[in-house]
Amino acid sequence: MTAALTLGSQAKLAAEFGLSTDEYALAQQIMGREPNVTELGIFSVMWSEHCSYKSSKKYLRELPTTAPWVVCGPGENAGVVDIGGGRVAVFKMESHNHPSYIEPFQGAATGVGGILRDVFTMGARPVANLNSLRFGSPDHPKTRRLVSGVVAGIGGYGNCVGVPTVGGECTFHPRYNGNILVNAMTVGIADKDKIFYSKAAGIGNPVVYVGSKTGRDGIHGATMASAVFGADAEAKRPTVQVGDPFTEKLLIEACLELMATDAIVAIQDMGAAGLTSSSFEMAGKGGLGLEMNLDDVPQRETGMSAYEIMLSESQERMLMVLHEGREEEARRIFAKWELDFAVVGRLNNTGRLVLRHHGKIEADMPIAPLSEASPVYDRPVKRTAPKPALAAASVAAPADYAKALRTMLASPDLASKRWIWEQYDHMVMADTIQRPGGDAAVVRIHGTKSALALTADCTPRYCEADPVMGGRQAVAEAWRNLTATGARPLALTDCLNFGNPQRPEIMGQFVGCLEGIADACRALDFPIVSGNVSLYNETDNVAVLPTPSIGGLGLLDDSDKMATVALKADASDLVLIGATAGHLGSSIFLREITGSEAGSPPPVDLAAERRNGDFVRGLITAGKVRASHDVSDGGLYVAVAEMAMAGRRGAALTVPAGTVPLHAWLFGEDQARYVLEVDPNGSAALLESAQKAGIPAVRIGRTGGVTLTVNGDWPISVADLRSAHEAWLPEYMSRQ
């Protein structure tokens, strides 16, 4: 490969590697000469959109990232927040979209592997995985195979490493036909005084490679993930990495064992752009230089060139700087776990990366201009005009409300995702105290009474209709889902999935969503501590719906106080918290029942979100709530049905007098709302305290029986709803 490449002109090669003409000129200027093939390869991956965030950096800098409980914000392998008791939670969400479309099983599996490494690199034991999945239309010929492969890949990896996959979301839309989204999130727990960072230090310290051997897989994976797909997407299969969760499990145990000593100075996983980005980032952050001998890099194939070794994205590898003299102690631990261990270089003070291979210098380049001063673009932005508002009165009411509800609960986006999460081991580690299917998963902090609540959320149809409101809503929904369990939301990670940033309309979506996200983070005291940007999710000029996935983390001080969505008893009162305007624009009802995607999304009043959520959390913590559920996709009727299905008991809804049209009341997706099941003897006092606090609250019904009714009409059996809700996905997946 190298020989063939050197025959072309370097400029042509630079273009093939995805560098623009200007970027190539800058590379020449930095080098003061023509870069060779290895060096050019390094420039191209380091400056790829995936690694450099060159289109998004300008806006990411504006995001709120601090709070008194934030220990480490964006810029490290993952974000870190204080969870009390001398412990921290370490978490991040990351995309593996392009590879998962090309090769769904390995693409999704290595997405999980990569995000796990980002977390245990920092010294945390991973305790939970989540994922956010977006597929094309169920009718698209590729969808079924992609769902099957992605789910098997996520399960195959997470199950084997023994980290429970506890939650996530999965929806379908034709705009993902050519580009699916696979966003994986890992949460880990570490001791606050044992966090590991990636900044190299100590001239003369050994640079050590551990884990799997390097092969020729995933070369230029980061470049592939930084371009739109053409008709040849499948031909890019060799750029997809191959995962081995067994090795990852050994790597977790070996790294954590070594981290219990004080031998490590700095550590970084080899993710996108492999050895290149890990070595540049570590040395760059430390302001140091590094000389590596590539002959010492463990290799599983013969005859690999320097270019191939540096650009390989082989999985399950880590790079670390050890204190001088601690090599043997570290080597013994990795030998115990049967993993490769090699000293591949030493730190120096030159500020340059020098690579030796077969006795020759294959690269000699300055580190800072590549790692810290990569190009930053201020791309043209065309802001998205929000879709016009849609009056509820202009939307036809359904002939049969109960039938509409049943149809919606069995629609692809609202249908139960049990078929997916039963393929994930969601209980290993024996601390999962709220399993998938609720508002948020809850995982106990091992050996304590406190617990982490975790959720992944985004409503892409809102982001499409109005990016600012959609961005706000994604954060607000995550915050609400955590709150509905009784948890105090602490921080979030984001995974920003958009189309081609060279199109001003896409940048408009991006900038709008980020603006909304930032508004919500500020208003809710819910900072962003880590994240990932995935652009170029686009095929033949069709971009994915703007999808800024939000991964939220909250803390329950006393896990015994946790609330769940399932109705617990007959003859309880149902109370709705939050105001109902009956907003049907961009709703699930509108799409599934009337076939329209028109209308602005529901406005998000962040002050009301905060007020209502804090009120609900207070009630849960005080033990005044039997069940609680946030109202989101599908509106109030769907929320109550979900509570009824989970609790296997009925409810009689009573519509408060003088409100909005019935279908808007039932199906409107107004924000900042929760349904609570409460003791009937306490509901009057609860409503009074809400009134005093200025919180809209109203009694909307009573639990009991085996049917769901509205004002005594439209009876439908909860068992019937449940079977429709559970049936869609397994039936869809079993069709040929």
Q: Footprint of another protein on this chain (CB under 8 A)?
A: 152, 155-156, 159-162, 244-247, 249-250, 337-338, 421-433, 435, 444, 559-560
DSSP state of 340: E
Q: Minimum CB separation from another protein for residue 477, in Å?
A: 25
Q: What b/e string do you get for 192-224 counting C-beta neighbours within 10 Å, with b at 16 or more?
A: eebbbbbbbbbeebbbbbbbbbbbbbbbbbbbb
DSSP reduced 3-state for 332? helix
- Tokens 């409101």 label which residue? 469
Nearer to another protein, 2 or 148 (CB): 148
DSSP state of 204: T
Q: Minimum CB separation from another protein for residue 78, in Å?
A: 21
Nearer to another protein, 152 or 542 (CB): 152
For residue 321, give both structure tokens: 């700087």
Q: Minimum CB separation from another protein for residue 338, in Å?
A: 7
Backbone angles phi, psi at 208, to 5 degrees: -120, 135
Catalytic residue, from 50, 357, 629, 725: name it: 50
Nearer to another protein, 153 or 634 (CB): 153
DSSP state of 410: T
Is residue 50 annotated as a catalytic residue, yes or no?
A: yes
Catalytic residue, from 96, 98, 220, 725: name it: 96
**CA 10 vs CA 41, 47, 300: distances in Å:** 11, 17, 29
Q: Are strands 352-357 and 289-293 parallel, antiparallel or unpaired?
A: parallel
For residue 411, give both structure tokens: 């629609």
Nearer to another protein, 163 or 355 (CB): 163
Nearer to another protein, 161 or 322 (CB): 161
Nearer to another protein, 360 or 735 (CB): 735
Q: Minimum CB separation from another protein for residue 274, in Å?
A: 22
On whether the CB atoms of residues 679 and 622 are closer than 8 A, the answer is no
Q: Per-residue DSSP letters for 35-95? A: --HHHHHHHHHHTSHHHH-TTTHHHHTTS----TTEEE-BTBSSEEEEEETTEEEEEEEEE
- Helices of type H across 410-528: 418-421, 460-465, 467-483, 504-524
Nearer to another protein, 100 or 159 (CB): 159
CA dihedral 681, 684, 685, 690 (to 10 degrees): 140
Q: Minimum CB separation from another protein for residue 125, in Å?
A: 10
Q: Minimum CB separation from another protein for residue 318, in Å?
A: 17
Helix or strand (DSSP H, E) at 577 = strand 573-577
Separation of alpha carbons 482 and 614, rounded Å: 11
On whether the CB atoms of residues 733 and 420 are closer than 8 A, the answer is no
Q: Minimum CB separation from another protein for residue 339, in Å?
A: 10
Nearer to another protein, 432 or 509 (CB): 432
Separation of alpha carbons 587 and 634, rounded Å: 7
Is residue 663 annotated as a catalytic residue, yes or no?
A: no
**CA 245 vs CA 286, 499, 528, 733: distances in Å:** 31, 31, 29, 26
Number of residues assigned to the chain: 736
Nearer to another protein, 339 or 535 (CB): 339
Nearer to another protein, 425 or 609 (CB): 425
Q: Per-residue DSSP letters for 4-22? A: HHHHS-HHHHHHHTT--HH
Q: Per-residue DSSP letters for 96-158? A: -HHHHHHSHHHHHHHHHHHHHHHHHTTTPEEEEEEEEEEE--TTSTTHHHHHHHHHHHHHHHH
Q: Minimum CB separation from another protein for residue 407, in Å?
A: 27
Separation of alpha carbons 252 and 266, rounded Å: 16
Q: Minimum CB separation from another protein for residue 249, in Å?
A: 6
Q: What is the 3-state secondary structure (H, E, C) of 228-255?
A: CECCCHHHHHHHCCCCCHHHHHHHHHHH
Q: Minimum CB separation from another protein for residue 113, in Å?
A: 13
Q: Which residues are catalytic?
A: 50, 96
